[in-house]
Amino acid sequence: MILSHEQARASIFEYIEVLYNKQRRHSAINFQAPMVFGQYAVMTCRYASK
């Protein structure tokens, strides 16, 4: 399958921004994946507000 330059660019952007960055561990959040950190933050806020 041959993609145009724009289709290839959009596919790469989608992979990086939508899939990879959600799974990649980030040093700024103690080497956790953003999804895990977000879940932890939500749980912490819920318990702190009680």
Q: What is the pLDDT along the chain (50 residues), one digit of tens a residue?
A: 677 999 999 999 988 887 776 667 767 777 777 777 777 778 788 776 66
pLDDT at position 7 is: 92
Distance CA 36, CA 13 (A): 22
Domain boundaries, the chain: 5-48
pTM of the model: 0.45
32, 25 contact by CB (below 8 A) = yes
Q: CA–CA separation, 4 vs 10, rounded Å? A: 10
